[in-house]
Chains A and B, each alone.
Chain A
Amino acid sequence: MADAPKSAAPATKAPPAWRQRRYLFWLIPLLLLPLPFYLGQYKQYVVNLILVYVPVGVGFNIVVGNLGLLAFSNVAFFGIGAYTSGVLALKLGWPWWATILPAGLMGGLVGCIAGVPALRGVRLFYLAIMTLAFGELLRWVYIRWVPVTGGSFGMSVPKASINVFGWPLPTEGDKFYAFLFLAVLMVVLTDRLLRSRFGRAFMAIKGNEQAAAAMGIPTDRYILLAFAWGGFVVGVGGSMYAALVGHVTPIAFDLAELILEFAVVMVGGLGSLVGSVLGAAIITAAPEFFREWPGFQEMLFGVLIVLVILFLPRGVASLLARVHPIFIDRYYRD
């Protein structure tokens, strides 16, 4: 009896979309490398500002998008990262590159503290208000702890301290490479985390916390991890902000800043890593496009956010996902 014909396996199987996307992670920053040769100081500054908001959006999205908790302590992580870098550089004379990790760790520590109410079962608007209050409390500390933070006048980060292993970063173009490296590192590390069992646990908690707990997932531990990692990533963003702006003041971490950061997540795409990057680019660059019409700038900006939320509730990333599957965030293997 002749063997039944075996189905012919394709000679070359295209890699699945999630694997293609990994190549893209490296392709995009590589394509960006020559930018400083083409951009002037102003446009390069705007690009650098986008890179600052990439980790800010990524970190915020972990808690709000991936974990699904209505927590608004992001601006606290951002501020503590900026202040940690500022204080270490100004008071202790550390070079900026050496302050990045402490800024991230302080962000992570503050993330753990901000996550405590969530461990106590506080959810929804109650958690939102508590985390908002936490951000304001930290702002109060920045204002009142004058000997360390410089109070309401803030502190200027010494220009000489902004270097990487002694290599100074005097121009926006120089800063760009350091910022690009940090932004890519934060995205890649977060991507790895989200694709691991930790990330899948976040998704399970977001889907149904009780069911996740019933399945043996230690939800408390994962919630704390999400807050801590989110805080770390945003803290690194804060350190980048301190190096870019060079002046850290409490008013930079107020409610308006929180709204801006929330807009990064909402416009980019809730729970989407691609969305966090896109959101950072759109929210940071859009006002610059409207700069010539300052009266209309706020209105157009508001309309943009409303339109995206109305017609693209999963953010601009969902629009790209329709174009090509590599833009779909998938946290499981095919």
Chain B
Amino acid sequence: MQLSKTFYALAAVAALASPALAADNMQGITATTIKIGNLGPFSGDAAVFNPLNFGPEAYLRYINDKGGIHGRKFETVFADSACNEAKGIAAAKKLIYEDKVFMIMGNPCSGVAMAIKPMLEQEGIPWMGPAANPKLTRPTSPAMFHTTYTGIESGEAMAGFALSNPAIKKIAIVEHSNDWAHGYCNPASDFIKKNGGEVLTRIAMERGSTDGTTQALQVKTLGAQAVLGCLYQPELIILLRDLQKFGVAATVVGALGADFDQTVQQVNSPAAVRDKFFQPYQFKAKIGTPALKEFEDMFVKYLKKDELPKAGPPTNFYYFGVPVGIVTVEGFRRAGPSPSREKWIAAIESIKDFDTGVLADTVTFSKDKHVGVSRMYAVGLDKDGKQTVYTAWGKPLPE
């Protein structure tokens, strides 16, 4: 009897002290709802990226309005990572263990995504997001998917577009000293070297910089024919202004950390951007054209006032975020009326040449390939100031 009591006491202690069990594969699914965690920077400097969270959210609301998927409607729980690893882990833990979501989508911050990756893998929580760090899905992680371009695709697209101009061989790189910027500019630098170009220099321009004189003068002194700017929007604007100020004629190709329209508006100098500033372009057509109009209408209809831009139509980041929602929903559609994590993952891995209706490339996944897209275009203002999408230097995409 005494032994029995001791046994039960030990068993109780062991049960209390044992590690939490991994989330079950139906967590977040009820008869009528699918609970999704939407993780992103809703506060701090990086909040400029949160349209990447609102884009997919608009699509989920649109699907809900149409009756949901297999009778279930999506229920989103937002969580703020502030683009800080420690806070991001707290936010992800809240989503997984307290809110008990089925999966996490969104999360444009690579550092946070890398920090939560071990937890997602341990718990088997699916992730689909726009964070650019290629290490998230290379090598393949069982439940993590990129349905947008990683730094490798974007960096190569930046370099590829610059080199598609036969007159450009000498290229300077201006970049932030962070993982995001290096995620773009390291593959870009490798691409330039492999394809007959020359990287003249890599100049740091830190976040929060309010002056780009040093960088502009170095670019001028070295005689760079093009500049790749792996910079966030505020610093890219400063660089473009200062290159113009010091009469540097080099072509500038920015990374995807800046919204093209806003950058052009805020530079506020046509001479600094016309036929001079370009960015990789993720979409199948120009924003504002009939091909993408349905998405603009969707954003305006389904997003709240504080989720939309303070002025003007929804910007590039809304469109860039929306494929995350589209492919996530497609996974549920294919997983059938009784979804589980395994079924959803298998459904996503079965997607081949899927047209999101918004991206320049179709989406293809497989068991060994969790990066769904690769082809990109470029966007810029032509000599007349008209926004144009190019397939290569001087080759506009037919409208």
Contact = CB atoms under 8 A, between A and B. Distances in A.
A and B associate: yes
B85 A252 contact: yes
A219 interface: no
A99 interface: no
Interface of B: 16-17, 19-20, 42-45, 78-80, 84-87, 89-91, 93-94, 96-98, 111, 114-115, 118, 133, 135, 177-183, 208, 306
A40 B43 contact: no
Contacts of A154: 111, 114, 179
Contacts of B90: 42, 45-46, 49, 288
Given A152-B181, A154-B179, A295 B114 contact: no
Closest 4 CB pairs of A and B: A294-B42, A42-B93, A294-B80, A247-B115
Contacts of A249: 85, 111, 114, 179
A160 to B, nearest CB: 11
Interface string A129-158: 000000000011001000000011110100
A153 B89 contact: no
Nearest to A255: B208
Contact of B84 (A241, A252, A298): A252
A153 B183 contact: yes
23 contacts: A37-B17, A41-B93, A41-B96, A42-B96, A42-B97, A45-B93, A49-B86, A152-B181, A153-B182, A154-B179, A241-B86, A246-B115, A247-B85, A249-B85, A249-B114, A252-B84, A256-B44, A256-B84, A294-B42, A294-B43, A294-B78, A295-B42, A298-B43
Contact of B135 (A46, A153, A251): A153
Interface string A29-52: 000000011001110011001000
A36 B15 CA distance: 12
B93 A152 contact: no
Given A245-B115, A291-B80, A170 B44 contact: no
Contacts, number: 99
Interface of A: 36-37, 40-42, 45-46, 49, 139-140, 143, 151-154, 156, 159, 170-174, 241, 244-247, 249-252, 255-256, 287-288, 291, 294-295, 297-298
B114 A171 contact: no
A41 B91 CA distance: 11
Nearest to B79: A291
B96 to A, nearest CB: 8
B19 A153 contact: no
A299 to B, nearest CB: 9
A315 to B, nearest CB: 23
A151 B204 CA distance: 14
A244 B87 CA distance: 12
A37 B20 CA distance: 11
Contacts of A174: 19
Contacts of B306: 295
Contacts of A152: 177-182
Contacts of B79: 291
Given A287-B87, A294-B42, A40 B19 contact: no
B89 A245 contact: yes
B44 A298 contact: yes
A294 B180 CA distance: 23
Contacts of B118: 156, 159, 246
Contacts of B20: 40-41, 171
Contacts of B183: 153
B43 A295 contact: yes
Given A154-B114, A245-B115, A42 B98 contact: yes
A247 B91 contact: no
B97 A250 contact: no
A251 B97 contact: no
A173 B86 CA distance: 17
Contacts of B89: 45, 245
A291 B181 CA distance: 28
A47 to B, nearest CB: 11
